[in-house]
Structure formats: structure tokens, C-alpha cells
């Protein structure tokens, strides 16, 4: 059970995390509450792609020793709900902004959520990382990694949009 | 300055990248050899001391051999990446194997012992994971660079290097003659150009077929197809792709797949070879532009362009949501165009949305590959689910009317009676009004008997010369007497120049297609603001609220979607596409797409003795027909094509096909059309989400064979030295007695190529709501503002060319649609036959 929920975690703790995701989603969705017709396929594609990549990547990188173990339910919710749905929508709202702005926005929001998960579930904990002896080093580096979400997503959308693969639409850049 | 010949040998930038990477790999592997070898002989460097397993002699020995071999292969390959390409392929295959074996061991190995590494431990599975990841990354980069290098070397745009090589290898053995005029590589490049020139949903089938053909020999422990010597390759193809299929030696499913693969492979090779202008003279073909009398013909019958059609492309549609205060029509084919024109005459604003692109007739040319890719749906590669039945449809502004033969037949009375049979389909058509619409359509599109067409030349000069032979045979057999009808066809063609390019678009404006005739007329009448056409936009869904369609979603080829709102919607995208659209939209569930039927066709080719040059390709592609006593159930139409099309329906393999193509100018051809039973269906399924399922009934199949036999007899009576149906196994019949064998040679549809350009039904008209999708006003049951006006409403196959029937239906429905849109005369009095209470 520890592998699924994490040590000392109950479903109530997870409900709290989901509530946090929901509140963050409300905030993220604020500037653009509705998906435009031409962005729907892109959104759902990114949701599925990132959720899958994150879920498998988190485990694989744990196996490689690059990351700490995320309890399975934590990994599932973080990958699907936070990275998939919430960051997907954040990208929808922010994808026309300069890349450096997007990078900061993604890294910062990610940091907030990871902090919350760390506080509630005890995950994302590591005493030192990359030679830095500070418990926040791991959190900061992982958040910075999340900052690459918009850069990678843009590259994928542009690449697939060239031939409208999977129905992806990439508008011509001005 | 570099000479051209020197440039040929220069490596492309991508090849140079591959070369550099191979050098890098060489050093990596040499490094690997040293890492494993040095500790084993007691020279363990300090930085490797934490890894004691390196001094295990067995481990080190295996690793040195592996690394050494890779290093040697990389060294050789980097020397000449063109000459030693096979070495690169060997590295890629073995590396893939290494990764796969690593994954299998990680997942299944029981002995997961732990090794001491410095101050910590490492399990052997984790070690394997690292090494597999390392191999995967190195190999991934190699594969990418290899593909880029190969694509750059040949300028490939569609096929992968492996598929391209397979195509070359196939062409090497399938096109087998004494003096091939273009190389196998040029054939494959022609095909690559063709396949890259259009967007289609079934293009993957061609790739898959080539991969299948390449790898199939591995099951027999033989090298891949392209690695075989040509003699062995031909022997293998003969044994496993020809005999196993023709003699039914393979199990049914495998046989179907193998047959589909080789059919596709053959077609591609023949297209690539016979479309090339360098080949044309060798088969006795002269393109129209090079014929001695073409200039005179064009001077006598000059090009007549109608008012150019104004068509919007994706870039012209500025917003993603359009509000159209009128009728929105899906499609621009015969049904859509006649409907649009009728509405325009009643001052109803019309917006037409077409999946295909717009090509002005002035851009039509003699390059069959170019025109097929521009004007046909899926580049004419649409196949039924069992890959044995080809459904060919136009996809351009003007729809199939741009590429059809313009042959016009009124709906036969017997068919109308069957449709209106109250005990059967119960279509409920007002036959008097239907006939009036039929007459109106004939006048509107300018139908006339083709030999009565005003023309400065004699009919012999522009009709298909092969038709003359056909008529001669009919006369010799006494088949030209009543109740049979043998004549030149009626068509919406005026002052034909006889170029023979009906199926690739009439450049000269002689075929009065929707593109050249009806749409420009209607746009001129209504004004471009009230009569808009959007091209290159596929309608993917109709959105409904309650019983009302509120809008439709269209998608351009770049993926952009638009939401189009309107008052009334008319679906006229053709039998297959309309049915699919309704299914995607959840409309008429369980009925849409059912009861699909066709005019199933298959050609009979005749070859005449040496010295009798016929040149059937010069002149109208379909010029004559024979309608035998209706109870026989088929109709003949003479038909001949420019070389590329003809080569794909030309019977024969290997040297037989070559021989036949080199008798091209002594041949004539007739298509036998049979109105099929309504036992087919189209549904959202399969990898293309557009699956046509069809198996001819025994009755239809027997009728077709009956027709083919009679067609053969007619040509033999006209002096043909042999006749050939388009069978999988090659058969040539030289006498009437021989022909009797045909029924035993062709056992089922796997033995013969069947196809259609006339899909019908799918959303049939019936007052019985349990089977009908539309009512007698062509309005979809359950929806107050949705109509259908194309061949999908046909309750059964008409058995003749359907364009007049399609247009008649559209004309018939115009008042209902206009009234629904709140305009028009309204109050059309339709007298429908008395009927039983409507079944719910």
C-alpha cells in the first residue's frame, strides 16, 4: 500500500491534492475559459502525450536514480491531472507569449504544486541534489525541468502540424 | 567548377553527417574494446577500478568481440556510405536486436545478482537497463541519420529508403522486357513523386504493402526481397505471390493479404514506368500535344473557358466561425451543383464546401500522375476492406463530373418502378415530376448523342476508334437488333477535340462538367457573394440541437477547423462520404451506410492482329455502348485510357504484361457494368475510418462473367486475335471455344479485378423508416433542415452511369430545400403514390 499511496498518506490527503489541482485549474483557466475549435485536438493530444510521458518518465528516471520514487497514485494524479490537464490548459492560455515568459510561468506554477505535494504527501523529498546539499534543490531542479514543457510542446505541435498528423493544427507563425 | 558527372558522386550533406557519425561510432566502439580488454590483461585504469566485473574474462571476451565487430563495420561503412550501405543496415539490425534482447532479459531474467560498484551496489538488471538505453540512443541516432541520408540521396518525399529499395527491386522483375527505357530507380522515383503529391487516407496501404513484400521472404528463411538476386527474386515472387494466390495454395487470409500486397506493388511499378514520357513512343502512344492533327483540332474547336470560378481556399477564410444566411451544401459534385444552381435561381444564398481542391481547367495537363493526384479521392487508391475491390471517386471542385466520362443515361423505367414498389422499397417518388426534372437536367447540362455533336470533323476522328471494332463485332453477331440497343453514348460533351483525357480532366472545356459549366453559370447568376465555394475543406461533423442541424464542422488540410452555421444543410458528398458524415454525426444510426450498391465493373481487353493499328487512346474514352436485353443485367461501354491507367488494368505478369503493353496501339477495351445488389456497406472502421465492405453476390458475379464472355465473343467476332479479362492469373482466349473456359478459370472475386466509379445507396430513400434515411422530399428523417442530394439516396443500383439520376434527384429536391430555407416559390405540389401507413 505504501507503494500506491506513500508512507502515512491517506485518500483524504490525496483529496486535498486534487482540490489544489482544481483551484489551480480555475486560476489557469481564467484568461481563456473555453477551448477554441481549432485548439481542441491539440489540447487533448498534449494531455494524453504528456500524461503518458510523465507517468512512465517519472518511474523510469526513478529506476535510473535521477528522481525519487513517487507513490503510484501520486504519480498518476500528478501526470494526468496536473501535467496533463492543468499544464495543458496553461499552455493553451500562454502559448502565444514569448518562450522565456512561458518557461518562467511553467517552472513557477510547477514549483508551487510540487511544494504542496511535498507538504501534503511528503513526496519530492531529497536531501541533496546535483551536489547541492539543500532539500529544495531537488524541487527547484524538477520545476525548472517542467519549464521546458512549452518549448517541447511547441516543437511537437509545429512538427505534427506540418502535415496535420493526428489532426494537429499549427497556425502559421506571424 | 564541378562537372555534372562529378556532382553525381558527391555526397549530400546528410550523407556526410552519416559518415561523420559512423566515424564517431567507430571511436566509441574502439574505446569499448579497450575498456573491456585492458582490465582483462591486467591493465585496469584507475577510473575503472570501481567496476570489478570488467575483469571477468568471459564477460570481457564477449564484449570485445561485439564492440570489435561494430567498430570494424563502422570503419568499413564510413569509408563509403553509398557502397557499403548494407553494412550500416547490418549495424542497425544488430543494435535493434541488442536492445530487444536487453528488454526481454530485464523483464524476464531470474538471476538478478548484485554487483559491487565503488561504495554502492548495482543489480545486473539495472546495468542491462543502462546498456540497453545506451544502445537504443546510439541506434536511434544512426537510424535517423541513415534515413535522412537515403532520402537526401534520392530526393525521396514519401517512401522510406527500405520501401524505395523494395519498389526498385519489384520494378526490376515486374517490368520485364528486352529494352527497358528507364531505370528501376527512375520508376521508383516516379512513384515516390506521385505518392507525395496528394493527401490521402489510404496511402499507408502502399507503404505497408512494400514492407510486406520486402519482409515476406524472411518467413521462408530467404533474404529480404530487395537483397535477393533478380533471378531468385522473380522465382520467389512467382512461387509465393503468384502461384500461391492463383492456385489457392495459401490459407485464405494470408492469400488475401499476399494478393493485396502484390497487386499494390504491381500497380505502383506500372504507374511509375508507363507514365514516363520517355516510354510512350515505345508502346505506340502519342500524347495529344504531339499528335499531327492536334493543332488543327484546337484551331477548329478552340478552348472555351467559362467565367472563371471564384473559389475560396483556406487562407481566404478569415474567421473560424461562419454564419451563412442560406443553404450550406456539402460537396460540389453533380448533385450539389445542380442543387446549388436551382437554389441560386430562386435567390437563395448558397455556400458549397468541397473536400477536394480547386484546379482550373486551364491547369489540366497530360501527366496522368499529376492529374490523378489532384483530381481523385485518395489518388484513386481507395480499396474495400478485403483489398479486392477498388472504389474510384473524383475529389475536386466539380466532384466526379471533372473526371468521369460524361456518359448520360436517364434512370431506367424498370428501376423507377422497383424503387416505387409499395411492397418493397416504397420510395414514394412523384414519377411525373421526376421525369420533368430528368428532362430539365438533360437540357441544363447539354446532353446530346455524341455523334450528333456539332463538330467540324467526322465522328471517326474524335470517337474512340476501339468503339468501331466493338460495333463491328456486335453487327457480326447480330446483336444490334431490338431489344438490344447498340449506339454511341449520350454525353454532356460539346465539340470534343478527341484528346482522350476525359478521366484526367478536360482541359479544353468541352466536357460540360460541373466545374466548367454549372458552377460558373450559377455563380454568375447569383453573384460571388451569394454563391460561395470553399475548397480543400472536409466536412467532418454535423452538429444538431434537437431535430435541427445548427452547424457543421469543416477541416482544412492543414488541420484548421471552421464552424459553419446555416439555415438549411444539404449533404451531397457522394455515396461513401455522405454515409460516413452521417455516421460521424450520429445521424440515422443503424441505417446510414447500409444498403450500399455499385455498378460493378471489369474490363475485357482485346488485341487485334499485327498491322491493325487501332489507337484506341485517340478519341473519346467512352464512345459506344451496348445494352443487351435488360434481363441479362449488364451494360457494355467501350473504354480506353492513356498508358498509365491502362497499364494498371492490363492483364498479365512479367513478360506477358510487357508484351501486352507493347500491343497497346492494337488493343480495344470494353467495360462490363453490373448493377449490384445492395449488400455492401460503408462504416467508420479500419485504419482509414472509412471502410467499404463488399462481396459480390453469386448472382451479380455470374452476371458479370456472362457479360465478360459476351464482350469477348463480340471482339473475337470483330477479328481480335485474343481477348483477356483482367484476371489475377493471366488468361488469354483466342477462340469462342476457349472463352467457354473462362467461367472455370474465374471462380470468385479473388481471381479477377473488380472496381467501381459508381457507388450508390447508403442513405436510401424510402418511406419505410426502418430502412430509409431520407423521405420523399430527400429530407433526413428526424431532422427538419437536413437534406441529402447525391447517389447515396438511390434505393438500389441504377445499373447505368448514374450522373443524370443524381442530378435529377437534386433538381427534384430543390423546391423543398428552398422552401425550408425560407425562400423560393414553395408549395410545390408533389403527387406521391398512395401508400401504406408509414412504418415507424
Asked whether B780 and B743 are in contact (CB, 8 A), the reply is no
**CB neighbours of A47 closer than 8 A, spacing ≥ 6?**
A84, A85, A88
Per-residue pLDDT reduced to its tens digit, B526-538: 999 999 999 999 9
pLDDT at B600: 94
Cβ separation B558–A169 shorter than 8 A:
yes
In whole angstroms, what is the distance from residue B343 CA to residue B136 CA? Answer: 62
Q: Which residues of B touch A36 (CB under 8 A)?
A: 320
Report yes or no: B431 and B588 within 8 Å, Cβ to Cβ: no
Contact B130 A64 (CB under 8 A): yes
Lookup: cell for B763 = 442513405
The pLDDT of B817-825, averaged and rounded, is 82
Using the predicted structure, report yes or no on whether residue B43 has a pLDDT greater than 90. Answer: no
Per CATH, the number for B447-501+594-762 is 3.30.410
The reply to whether A47 falls in a domain is yes
Q: Give the gap in angstroms from C-alpha B120 to the nearest C-alpha of chain A.
A: 12
pLDDT for B59: 76
Residue B1 has what pLDDT? 44
Is the pLDDT at B392 greater than 90? The verdict is no
pLDDT tens profile B797-810: 999 999 999 999 99
| Gap from A138 CA to chain B (nearest CA, Å) | 21
pLDDT interval class at B169 (50, 70, 90): very high
* Segment A148-166 mean pLDDT: 91
Chain B, 317 to 356: residues with Cβ < 8 Å from chain A are 320-321
Is residue A145 domain-resident? yes
**Residues above pLDDT 70, as percent of chain B:** 92
Alpha-helix runs per DSSP H in B494-555: 519-526
The mean pLDDT of B825-829, rounded to a whole number, is 56
- CB B754 within 8 Å of CB B519: no
Nearest CA to CA, how far is B80 from chain A (Å)? Answer: 32
Note whether B122 contacts A: Cβ–Cβ < 8 A: no
Question: Please, what's the largest Cα pairwise distance for chain A?
Answer: 52
pLDDT in tens, A106-124: 999 999 999 999 999 999 9
Q: CB distance B560–A38 less than 8 Å?
A: yes
Decide if pLDDT at B9 tops 70. no
Q: What distances in angstroms separate CA B802 from CA B365, B502, B544, B675, one per listed residue?
A: 27, 17, 31, 11
* Cα B673 from Cα B522, distance rounded (Å): 33
Q: What pLDDT sits at residue B126?
A: 79
Closest residue in A to B552 (Cα) is: A37
- What pLDDT is stored for residue A155 in this prediction? 94
pLDDT of residue A162: 84
Task: Spell B84-98 as b/e; 16+ CB within 10 A means b.
Answer: bbebbbebeebbeeb
Q: According to DSSP H, which parts of B607-685 are helical?
A: 643-649, 654-661
**Which residues of A fall within a CB distance of 8 Å from B129?**
63-64
* Alpha carbon B715 to chain centroid, angstroms: 30
pLDDT for res B690: 82
Q: Does B560 touch chain A (CB under 8 A)?
A: yes
CA separation, residue B142 to residues B59, B257, B289, B625 (Å): 26, 32, 48, 59
Of A38, A43, A62, A162, which to mutate for an interface test with B (greatest number of B Cβ within 10 Å)? A38
* Dihedral pair phi/psi, residue B137, rounded to 5°: -65, -50
Per-residue pLDDT, B306:
63
Q: Is the pLDDT of residue B4 over 60?
A: no
Give the integer Cα–Cα distance in Å for A89 and B291. Answer: 63
Of the residues A60, A159, A164, the best mutation for testing chain B's interface (the one with the most B CB atoms within 10 Å of its CB) is: A164
The ipTM value here is 0.75
Model pLDDT, residue B453? 56
Distance between CA atoms of residues B450 and B638, nearest Å: 13
Instruction: Give the one of A37, A63, A164 whose C-beta lies nearest to B129's C-beta.
Output: A63
> Is pLDDT at B45 greater than 70 in this prediction?
no
B10-19, B197-206, B485-494: which range is least confident on average? B197-206
Mean pLDDT of B355-378: 89
pLDDT at residue number A174: 43
Helix-helix angle B124-154:B161-174, to 10 degrees: 50
CB contacts, 8 Å: A169 with chain B? 558-561
User: How many Cβ atoms sit within 10 Å of the Cβ of residue B209?
Assistant: 25
Mutate to test the interface with A, among B120, B144, B559 (most CBs of A within 10 A): B559
Domain carrying residue A150: 36-167
A–B CB contacts, 8 A cutoff, strictly below: 31
Q: Chain A contacts of B561, Cβ < 8 Å?
A: 37-38, 169
Report the C-alpha gap between B32 and B44 in whole angstroms.
13
Cβ of A169 and B553 within 8 Å? Answer: no
Tell me the domain boundaries of chain B. 11-154, 162-274, 306-358+513-593+765-824, 447-501+594-762
Residues of A in contact with B562 (CB under 8 A): 37
* Alpha-carbon gap: A102 to the closest alpha carbon of chain B (Å): 24
- Residue pair B213/B240 in contact by the 8 Å Cβ criterion: no
Interchain contact, B555 vs A167, CB within 8 Å: yes
Residue B773: its pLDDT value, please?
Answer: 96
- Chain B residues with beta carbon closer than 8 angstroms to that of A37: 320-321, 553, 561-563
- Which band of pLDDT confidence, cut at 50, 70 and 90, is reported for residue B838? very low
Q: What is the pLDDT of residue B461?
A: 62
Task: Check CB contact under 8 Å for A36 and B558.
Answer: no
Q: Comparing C-alpha atoms, which of B187, B198, B185, B194 is closest to residue B153? A: B185
Most distant CA pair in chain B: distance in Å? 105
Report whether pLDDT(B2) > 60: no
**Residue A141 belongs to a domain:** yes
Length of chain B: 840
With a cut of 90, say whether residue B663 has pLDDT above it. yes
Q: Does residue B14 carry a pLDDT above 70?
A: yes
Q: B558 to chain A: which residues are within 8 Å by CB?
A: 161, 164, 169-170
Show which of residues 565-584 on chain B sit within 8 Å of chain A, judged by CB atoms: none
Tell me what percent of the residues of chain A surpass a pLDDT of 90. Answer: 74
**Top-confidence residue, A65 or B668:** B668
Which string of b and e fits B361-386 if b means at least 16 CB within 10 Å?
A: beebebbbbbbbbbbbbbbbbbbbbb
Inter-residue contact B504 to B371 (CB < 8 Å)? yes
Is B698 buried (19+), middle (13-18) or exposed (0-12) by CB count in 10 A? Answer: exposed
Asked if A164's CB is within 8 angstroms of B320's CB, the reply is no
Structural domain includes residue A68: yes
Of the candidates B488, B506, B486, the residue with the CA atom closest to the CA atom of residue B497: B506
Hey, which bits of B55-155 come out as E strands? 114-117, 120-123
Residues of chain A with Cβ-Cβ distance to B321 below 8 Å are 37
The answer to whether residue A173 neighbours chain B at the CB level (below 8 Å) is no
- Terminal CA-CA length for chain A: 52
- Provide the pLDDT for residue B840: 45
Calculate the average pLDDT of chain A: 92
Classify residue B789 by its DSSP letter: -
pLDDT digits (tens, 9 = 90+) for A2-57: 788 988 889 999 999 999 999 999 999 999 999 999 999 999 999 999 999 999 99
Backbone angles phi, psi at B810, to 5 degrees: -65, -45
Contact B559 A164 (CB under 8 A): yes
pLDDT at residue number B40: 67
Helices (H), B446-538: 459-462, 465-476, 519-526
Mean pLDDT, to the nearest integer, of B671-694? 89
Q: Can you give the pLDDT at residue B205?
A: 86
pLDDT reported for residue B814? 95
Q: Inform me whether the pLDDT recorded for B3 exceeds 60.
A: no
Selected residue of B203, B314, B558 to mutate for chain A interface (largest A Cβ count, 10 A): B558
- Name every chain B residue with its beta carbon within 8 A of the beta carbon of A170: 558-559
H-assigned helices in B175-276: 184-196, 203-215, 230-236, 244-246, 252-274
CB contact under 8 A, A167 and B321: no
Residue B517 near residue B302, CB atoms below 8 Å: no
Residue B183 has pLDDT above 90, yes or no: yes
C-alpha cell belonging to residue B395: 475529389
Closest-CA residue in chain B for A165?
A: B559
With an 8 Å Cβ cutoff, are A37 and B561 in contact? yes
- Rounded CA Rg of chain B: 31
Q: How far is B739 from chain A (nearest CA, A)?
A: 50
- DSSP string spanning A60-97? HHHHTTSSPPPPHHHHHHIIIIIIIIIHHHHHHHHTTS
Task: Judge whether B715 and B733 are in contact, CB under 8 Å.
Answer: no
Question: Is there a contact between B612 and B729 (Cβ–Cβ < 8 Å)?
Answer: no
β-strand B754-756 against B389-391: which pairing, if any? parallel
Mean pLDDT confidence for B365-376:
89
**B422-451 pLDDT, tens per residue?**
889 999 999 999 999 999 999 999 898 876
B204 touches chain A (CB under 8 A): no
Residues B303-309 have a mean pLDDT of 73
pLDDT at residue B103, rounded to an integer: 87
Read off the pLDDT band of B302 (50, 70, 90).
confident
Residue B339 C-beta-side C-alpha neighbours within 13 Å? 35
Of B126, B553, B559, the CB nearest to A169: B559
- List of chain B residues whose C-beta atoms are within 8 Å of the C-beta of residue A167: 555, 559
> Is it the case that residue B8 has pLDDT exceeding 60?
no
Are residues B291 and B193 in contact, defined by beta-carbon separation less than 8 angstroms? no
- Does B143 have pLDDT greater than 90? yes
Q: What is the pLDDT of residue B826?
A: 53
Query: Does any domain span residue A24?
Result: no
Averaged pLDDT, A65-76:
92
Could you please state the CATH topology (level 3) that the domain comprising B306-358+513-593+765-824 is classified under.
Answer: FAD/NAD(P)-binding domain (3.50.50)
Any idea what the Cα angle at residue B835 is, between residues B829 and B838, rounded to 5°?
100
- Report the gap between the CA of A94 and the closest CA in chain B (Å): 20
* B744-787 pLDDT, tens digit each: 999 998 999 899 989 999 999 999 999 999 999 999 999 999 99
Contacts of A34 in chain B (CB under 8 A): none
* Per-residue pLDDT, B796: 95
Number of domains in chain A: 1
What is the overall mean pLDDT for chain B?
89
- Identify all chain A residues contacting B555, using CB atoms and an 8 Å cutoff: 167
Residues of B in contact with A57 (CB under 8 A): none
The answer to whether A36 contacts chain B (CB < 8 Å) is yes
- Residue B89 above 70 pLDDT? yes
B557 contacts chain A (CB < 8 A): yes
Least confident segment among B305-309, B624-628, B728-732:
B305-309
Type and span of the H or E element at B580: helix B575-584
- Would an 8 Å CB–CB cutoff place A56 in contact with chain B? no
Say yes or no for a CB contact (<8 Å) between A63 and B558: no
Q: Is B528 left (phi over 0), alpha (psi -120 to 50) or beta?
A: alpha
Mean pLDDT value across residues B181-209: 88
Tell me whether residues A169 and B557 touch, CB distance under 8 A. Answer: no
Amino acid at each position: 500500500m505504501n507503494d500506491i499511496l506513500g508512507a502515512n498518506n491517506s485518500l483524504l490527503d490525496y483529496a486535498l491534492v486534487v482540490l489544489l489541482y482544481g483551484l489551480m485549474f480555475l486560476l489557469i483557466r481564467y484568461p481563456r475559459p473555453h477551448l477554441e475549435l481549432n485548439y481542441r485536438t491539440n489540447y487533448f493530444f498534449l494531455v494524453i502525450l504528456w500524461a503518458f510521458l510523465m507517468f512512465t518518465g517519472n518511474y523510469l528516471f526513478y529506476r535510473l536514480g535521477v528522481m525519487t520514487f513517487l507513490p503510484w497514485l501520486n504519480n498518476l494524479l500528478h501526470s494526468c491531472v496536473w501535467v496533463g490537464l492543468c499544464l495543458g490548459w496553461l499552455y493553451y492560455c500562454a502559448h502565444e507569449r514569448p518562450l522565456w515568459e512561458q518557461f518562467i510561468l511553467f517552472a513557477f506554477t510547477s514549483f508551487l504544486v510540487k511544494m504542496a505535494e511535498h507538504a501534503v504527501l511528503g513526496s519530492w523529498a531529497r536531501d541533496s541534489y546535483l551536489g547541492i546539499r539543500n532539500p529544495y534543490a531537488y524541487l527547484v531542479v524538477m520545476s525548472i525541468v517542467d519549464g521546458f514543457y512549452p518549448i517541447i510542446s511547441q516543437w511537437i505541435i509545429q512538427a505534427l502540424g506540418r502535415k496535420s498528423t493526428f489532426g494537429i493544427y499549427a497556425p502559421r507563425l506571424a | 567548377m564541378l562537372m555534372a558527372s562529378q556532382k553525381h558522386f558527391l555526397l549530400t550533406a546528410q550523407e556526410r553527417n552519416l559518415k561523420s557519425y559512423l566515424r564517431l561510432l567507430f571511436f566509441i566502439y574502439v574505446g569499448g574494446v579497450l575498456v573491456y580488454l585492458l582490465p582483462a590483461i591486467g591493465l585496469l585504469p584507475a577510473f575503472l577500478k570501481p567496476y570489478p566485473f570488467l575483469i571477468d574474462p568471459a564477460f570481457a571476451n564477449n564484449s570485445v568481440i561485439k564492440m570489435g565487430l561494430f567498430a570494424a563495420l563502422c570503419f568499413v561503412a564510413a569509408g563509403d556510405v553509398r557502397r557499403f550501405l548494407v553494412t550500416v543496415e547490418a549495424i542497425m539490425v544488430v543494435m535493434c536486436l541488442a536492445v530487444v534482447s536487453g528488454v526481454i532479459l530485464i523483464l524476464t531474467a531470474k538471476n538478478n545478482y548484485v554487483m559491487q560498484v565503488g561504495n554502492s551496489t548495482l543489480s545486473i538488471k539495472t546495468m542491462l537497463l543502462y546498456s540497453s538505453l545506451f544502445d537504443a540512443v546510439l541506434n536511434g541516432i544512426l537510424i535517423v541519420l541513415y534515413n535522412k541520408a537515403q532520402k537526401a540521396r534520392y530526393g525521396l518525399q514519401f517512401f522510406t529508403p527500405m520501401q524505395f529499395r523494395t519498389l526498385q527491386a519489384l520494378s526490376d522483375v515486374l517490368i520485364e522486357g528486352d529494352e527497358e527505357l528507364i531505370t528501376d530507380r527512375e520508376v521508383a522515383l516516379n512513384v515516390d513523386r506521385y505518392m507525395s503529391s496528394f493527401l490521402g487516407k489510404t496511402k499507408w496501404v502502399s507503404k505497408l504493402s512494400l514492407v510486406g513484400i520486402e519482409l515476406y521472404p524472411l518467413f521462408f528463411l530467404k533474404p529480404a526481397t530487395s537483397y535477393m538476386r533478380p533471378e531468385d527474386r522473380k522465382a520467389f515472387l512467382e512461387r509465393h505471390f503468384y502461384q500461391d494466390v492463383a492456385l489457392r495454395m495459401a490459407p485464405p487470409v494470408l492469400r488475401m493479404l499476399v494478393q493485396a500486397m502484390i497487386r499494390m506493388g504491381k500497380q505502383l511499378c506500372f504507374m511509375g514506368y508507363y507514365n514516363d514520357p520517355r516510354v510512350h513512343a515505345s508502346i505506340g502512344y502519342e500524347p495529344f500535344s504531339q499528335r499531327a492533327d492536334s493543332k488543327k483540332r484546337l484551331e477548329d474547336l478552340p478552348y472555351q473557358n467559362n467565367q472563371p470560378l471564384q473559389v475560396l481556399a483556406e487562407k481566404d477564410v478569415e474567421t473560424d466561425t461562419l454564419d451563412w444566411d442560406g443553404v450550406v451544401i456539402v460537396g460540389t459534385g453533380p448533385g450539389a451543383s445542380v442543387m446549388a444552381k436551382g437554389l441560386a435561381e430562386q435567390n437563395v444564398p448558397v455556400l458549397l464546401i468541397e473536400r477536394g481542391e480547386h484546379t482550373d481547367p486551364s491547369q489540366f495537363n497530360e501527366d496522368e500522375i499529376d492529374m490523378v493526384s489532384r483530381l481523385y479521392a485518395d489518388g484513386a487508391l481507395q480499396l474495400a476492406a478485403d483489398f479486392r475491390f477498388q472504389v474510384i471517386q473524383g475529389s475536386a471542385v466539380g466532384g466526379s463530373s471533372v473526371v468521369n466520362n460524361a456518359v448520360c443515361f436517364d434512370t431506367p423505367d424498370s428501376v423507377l418502378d422497383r424503387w416505387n414498389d409499395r411492397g418493397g422499397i416504397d420510395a414514394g417518388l412523384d414519377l411525373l415530376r421526376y421525369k420533368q426534372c430528368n428532362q430539365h437536367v438533360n437540357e441544363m447540362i447539354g446532353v446530346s448523342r455524341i455523334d450528333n455533336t456539332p463538330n467540324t470533323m467526322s465522328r471517326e476522328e474524335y470517337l474512340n476508334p476501339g468503339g468501331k471494332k466493338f460495333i463491328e463485332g456486335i453487327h457480326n453477331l447480330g446483336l444490334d437488333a431490338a431489344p438490344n440497343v447498340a449506339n454511341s453514348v449520350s454525353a454532356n460533351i460539346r465539340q470534343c477535340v478527341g484528346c482522350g483525357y476525359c478521366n484526367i480532366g478536360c482541359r479544353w472545356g468541352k466536357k460540360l462538367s460541373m466545374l466548367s459549366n454549372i458552377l460558373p453559370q450559377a455563380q454568375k447568376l447569383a453573384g460571388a457573394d451569394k454563391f460561395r465555394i470553399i475548397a480543400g475543406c472536409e466536412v467532418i461533423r454535423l452538429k444538431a440541437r434537437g431535430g435541427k442541424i445548427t452547424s457543421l464542422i469543416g477541416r482544412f488540410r492543414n488541420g484548421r477547423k471552421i464552424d459553419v452555421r446555416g439555415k438549411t444543410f444539404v449533404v451531397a458528398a457522394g455515396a461513401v462520404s455522405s454515409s460516413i458524415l452521417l455516421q460521424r454525426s450520429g445521424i440515422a444510426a443503424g441505417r446510414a451506410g447500409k444498403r450500399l450498391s455499385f455498378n460493378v465493373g471489369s474490363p475485357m481487353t482485346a488485341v487485334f492482329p499485327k498491322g491493325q493499328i487501332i489507337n484506341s487512346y485517340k478519341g473519346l474514352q467512352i464512345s459506344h455502348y451496348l445494352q443487351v436485353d435488360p434481363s441479362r443485367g449488364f451494360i457494355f461501354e467501350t473504354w480506353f485510357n492513356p498508358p498509365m491507367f491502362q497499364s494498371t488494368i492490363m492483364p498479365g505478369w512479367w513478360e506477358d504484361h510487357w508484351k501486352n503493353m507493347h500491343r497497346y496501339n492494337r488493343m480495344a477495351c470494353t467495360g462490363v457494368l453490373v448493377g449490384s445488389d445492395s449488400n455492401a456497406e460503408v462504416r467508420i472502421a479500419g485504419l482509414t475510418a472509412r471502410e467499404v465492405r463488399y462481396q459480390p453476390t453469386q448472382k451479380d458475379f455470374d452476371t458479370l462473367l456472362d457479360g465478360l464472355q459476351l464482350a469477348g465473343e463480340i471482339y473475337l467476332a470483330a477479328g481480335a486475335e485474343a481477348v483477356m479479362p483482367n484476371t489475377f492469373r493471366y488468361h488469354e482466349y483466342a477462340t469462342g471455344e476457349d472463352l467457354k473456359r473462362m467461367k472455370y478459370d474465374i471462380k470468385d472475386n479473388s481471381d479477377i479485378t473488380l472496381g467501381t466509379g459508381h457507388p450508390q445507396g447508403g442513405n436510401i430513400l424510402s418511406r419505410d423508416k426502418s430502412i430509409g434515411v431520407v423521405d420523399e422530399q430527400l429530407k433526413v428523417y428526424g431532422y427538419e433542415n437536413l437534406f441529402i442530394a447525391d447517389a447515396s439516396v438511390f434505393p438500389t443500383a441504377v445499373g447505368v452511369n448514374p450522373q443524370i439520376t443524381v442530378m435529377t434527384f437534386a433538381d427534384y429536391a430543390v423546391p423543398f430545400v428552398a422552401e425550408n430555407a425560407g425562400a423560393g416559390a414553395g408549395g410545390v405540389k408533389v403527387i406521391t403514390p398512395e401508400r401504406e401507413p408509414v412504418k415507424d
